[in-house]
Amino acid sequence: MPTVKAMSQLLEPTALNAWRSFITAHARLIETIDRELAAADCVPLHWYDVLVELVEVPERRLRMSDLARKVVLSRSGLTRLVDKLEKAGLLARASSPEDGRGAYAVLTEAGHDALRKAWPIYAQGIQTHFAQYLSADEAHVFAKVLTRILEGMGEGV
């Protein structure tokens, strides 16, 4: 097993520090915003992520495989989450007319209502815990760098 010193020699110290700061900030931001949503009696953040993907597409529906990719979940992880969202009445499943084996997740009106209720809390959390610490130029550079990383991994934004 390599030592921390040996591992850090593989990376520029600045890059390693940026990585550590990024993953720590990400984890704490998600935890904080999720806690604020819960305090406001809103859907959990991982539910919100699924619902917002559906509200932004035509007919408010996505194939399950496409939805899993967008929210970065395995198909089985998404299936379990969709089961919970369906039980809560926030989305419904619909079979694919093109492919009998495929299924769609479809946003319900209750799911849309849940998004509308959660959005102000989520937006305030983003502003309070993230955006206020970035100038407009820094936010632009940050978004550009993250987009470049995703594109380098073969992911679209």
Domain boundaries, the chain: 4-152
| 67 burial level (CB within 10 Å; 0-12, 13-18, 19+) | buried
Q: What is the pLDDT of residues 101-149, one digit of tens each?
A: 778 999 999 999 999 999 999 999 999 999 999 999 999 999 999 999 9
CATH topology classification for 4-152: Arc Repressor Mutant, subunit A (1.10.10)
Whether the Cβ atoms of residue 91 and residue 107 lie closer than 8 Å to each other:
yes
Q: Can you give 27-93 as a three-state secondary structure string?
A: HHHHHHHHHHHHHCCCCCHHHHHHHHHHHCCHHHEEEHHHHHHHCCCCHHHHHHHHHHHHHCCCEEE
Confidence of residue 2 (pLDDT cuts 50, 70, 90): low
Give 47-93 pLDDT, tens digit per residue: 999 999 999 998 999 998 889 888 887 788 888 999 999 999 999 99
Distance CA 13, CA 36 (A): 34
